[in-house]
């Protein structure tokens, strides 16, 4: 059975995720070591020093700076994940992305632990690519070591897709969250857990009038509650988020973050 898996987090220096920080603090005891790799996108603002202080309070956190790599030849997510794995020793290892949300985290964590008794790879399955996505991804280390440990977006799949292919080729049991009963559909009332997606790009490009937001209506609700999460906020990122919310208000005037069904996933402190 899974026992406190080490958590791998790739963090862009220029974005903050207050809801994620709140959830991670709330469920800190579930995870072992937290390993955070700061990825460089050459944008402003730089928030890594602020985030260092926030994450350090969780205890047993290791911060890694971006390593030298050949841009255009090496996949950034493959580089970051393999670098983090060098510092992990747990029997199980996991990845949880900042834009992963569940209606009931306690229930999901418990179901994931129970599933680990028989399976060797567990998580949210991207059915379009037929692979377990890094937004919610738990794997037994002994199984991972038998894969190529290639987390690249290549061969027709996105990041982490090749690992799923390797595990499937070995004939090992893979369990997805959907099979465990956590629905991921288009409406909030029919959803139990989901990957929002596109959040980094929405933050990085959200002030560009020519940019089209990914899942903009849901992102508007998310951004609204992200600014209100009961954790310390970066004033620079908060100001940027407010300006982005102004664009979202103009684009989606009929979306009320206070009344939206998606609120239940983002206002985790209610």
Same domain? 12 vs 99: yes
Same domain? 159 vs 213: no
Task: Give the integer Cα–Cα distance in Å for 136 and 114.
Answer: 15
pLDDT of residue 74: 87
pLDDT of residue 41: 76
Lowest mean pLDDT among 45-49, 179-183, 188-192, 198-202: 45-49
Query: Mean pLDDT throughout 159-172?
Result: 97
Four-point Cα dihedral 68, 84, 169, 181, nearest 10: -130
At 6 the three-state DSSP class reads: strand
Same domain? 74 vs 161: yes
Task: Give the integer Cα–Cα distance in Å for 122 and 125.
Answer: 9
Same domain? 74 vs 13: yes
Same domain? 172 vs 49: yes
pLDDT of residue 135: 98
Q: Is 180 exposed, middle or buried (0-12, 13-18, 19+ CB in 10 A)?
A: middle
Same domain? 27 vs 129: yes
pLDDT tens per residue across span 97-121:
999 999 999 999 999 999 999 999 9
Same domain? 86 vs 209: no
Domain assignment present for residue 41? The answer is yes
pLDDT of residue 190: 96
pLDDT band at 69 (very low <50, low <70, confident <90, very high): confident
pLDDT band at 208 (very low <50, low <70, confident <90, very high): very high
Domain assignment present for residue 188? The answer is no
Domain assignment present for residue 183? The answer is no
With tokens 């690249």, the residue in question is: 152
Structural domain span for residue 221: 197-266
Domain assignment present for residue 141? The answer is yes
Q: Pick the last residue of a domain from 119, 143, 176.
A: 176
| Tally of domains within the chain | 2
Domain assignment present for residue 185? The answer is no
Q: Is the pLDDT of residue 265 over 70?
A: yes
Same domain? 123 vs 249: no
Q: pTM (2 decimals)? A: 0.96
pLDDT band at 164 (very low <50, low <70, confident <90, very high): very high
Listed ranges 10-14, 167-171, 185-189; the one with the highest mean pLDDT: 167-171
Domain assignment present for residue 190? The answer is no
Q: What percent of the chain has pLDDT over 70?
A: 100
Q: Is the pLDDT of residue 1 over 70?
A: no
pLDDT of residue 35: 98
Task: Give the integer Cα–Cα distance in Å for 243 and 246.
Answer: 5
Same domain? 89 vs 209: no
Same domain? 10 vs 79: yes
Same domain? 201 vs 164: no
Same domain? 79 vs 10: yes
Q: Which long-range contacts (CB under 8 A, 24 or more apart) does 116-120 make?
A: 116/1, 116/2, 116/92, 116/140, 117/1, 118/173, 118/175, 119/172, 119/173, 119/174, 119/175, 120/167, 120/172, 120/173, 120/174
Q: Pick the last residue of a domain from 147, 176, 205.
A: 176
**Please, what is the average pLDDT of the chain?**
95
CATH number of the structural domain spanning residue 160: 3.90.550.10
Domain assignment present for residue 192? The answer is no
Q: How many CA atoms lie within 13 A of 64 on its CB side?
A: 23
Lookup: tokens for 100: 């992963």
Domain assignment present for residue 100? The answer is yes
């Amino acid at each position: 059975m899974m026992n406190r898996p080490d958590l791998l987090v790739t963090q862009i220096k220029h974005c903050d995720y207050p809801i994620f920080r709140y959830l991670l603090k709330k469920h800190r005891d579930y995870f072992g070591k937290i390993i955070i790799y700061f990825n460089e996108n050459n944008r402003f603002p730089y928030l890594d020093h602020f985030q260092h202080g926030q994450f350090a309070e969780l205890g047993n956190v290791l911060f890694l700076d971006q390593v030298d790599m050949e841009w255009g030849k090496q996949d950034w997510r493959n580089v970051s994940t393999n670098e983090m794995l060098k510092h992990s020793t747990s029997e199980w290892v996991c990845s949880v992305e900042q834009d992963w949300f569940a209606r009931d985290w306690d229930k999901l964590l418990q179901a994931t632990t129970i599933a680990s008794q028989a399976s060797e790879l567990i998580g949210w399955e991207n059915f379009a690519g037929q692979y377990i996505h890094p937004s919610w991804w738990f794997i037994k280390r002994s199984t991972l070591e038998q894969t190529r440990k290639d987390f690249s977006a290549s061969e027709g799949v996105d990041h982490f897709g090749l690992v799923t292919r390797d595990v499937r080729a070995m004939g090992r049991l893979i369990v997805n969250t959907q099979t465990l009963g956590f629905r991921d559909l288009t409406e909030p009332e029919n959803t139990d857990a989901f990957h929002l997606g596109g959040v980094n790009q929405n933050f990085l490009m959200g002030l560009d009038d020519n940019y089209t937001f990914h899942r903009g209506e849901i992102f508007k609700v998310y951004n609204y509650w992200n600014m209100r999460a009961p954790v310390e906020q970066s004033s620079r990122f908060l100001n940027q988020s407010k300006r982005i919310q102004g664009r979202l208000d103009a684009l989606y005037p009929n979306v009320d973050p206070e009344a939206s069904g998606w609120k239940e996933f983002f206002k985790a402190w209610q």
